[in-house]
Amino acid sequence: MDIIFYHPTFDANHWISLLQRQLPEARIREWRSGDNGPADYALVWHPPVEMLRGRTGLKAVFALGAGVDSILSKLKKDPDLLPAGVPLFRLEDTGMAEQMQEYAVSQVLHWFRRFDDYQALKLQAKWEPLADYEREDFTIGILGAGVLGGKVAESLVGWGFPVRCWSRSHKNYSRIKSFAGREELSAFANNTRVLINLLPNTPETVGIINSELVNQLADNAYVLNLARGVHLVEDDLLTALDSGKLKGAMLDVFSREPLPAESPLWRHPRVAITPHVAAVTRPAQAVEFISSTIIQLDKGQHPTGQVDLQRGY
């Protein structure tokens, strides 16, 4: 079995070492330009077209992250990037759900306990106890109900918040109200106090967090974007913050990354920013998932995690 690996920033030697322990019989190498040697599997992130083009012998390609939009966008420009019939797999969890839970829960509690308000008072040197928010008035709405969205929703239910989710199709999560399809998006947004985005990046979801959606949220709502920057219309967000419709936003992802220094998001007092770190790929857990999937594929089984190229996730 031959495996090729490519990531523009990861330590290839470390990954190859971890893979070799899981798949001792495999021949694993870091792919470099000009390498046209045999390959049964490819592990990639933002792969050059020449790495995959024409490799009809591939049994599968693995994206080294939960999102596959970088590969799919390249595939639209160059249909030969991924040989026909070669399945594409994404990392379903591999520690990302836990990280997303930590991020989302900590931020929701930050807003719920009014720490944003207390920080603003602190800057004015004001000692002023504020009235508590009530959980029943703090409905959490999650855009995206896949592996990550479902885990985040379950965590917030555990803290006693009313939680609802919206996705392409209805889900059967316990204690979580499910909405689906564009026809139910307004009902989902109505009375939502905290909007959390964990949607996949598809043509249908680009720009979904816009003025129309935001204006249907509860007054003094919050937005937490953990998915992709293209989901959010930044100008609409700023307008809603300045008008008072939104009380705050926490953003981990942006349409342009790194976020340009001239972006007004940096300077807005009610916008908090992190540099796309909500959930990062953990090598040991990712390698365990990839190795297990490869073993299943070699046995003729059908493991989870395969991407539907038409849906984009």
Q: Which of 190, 247, 185 is nearest to 221 (CA)?
A: 247
Catalytic residue among 170, 270, 276, 282: 276
- Is 164 catalytic? The answer is no
Choose the catalytic residue: 7, 90, 193, 228.
Answer: 228
113 an active-site residue? no
Catalytic residues: 228, 276
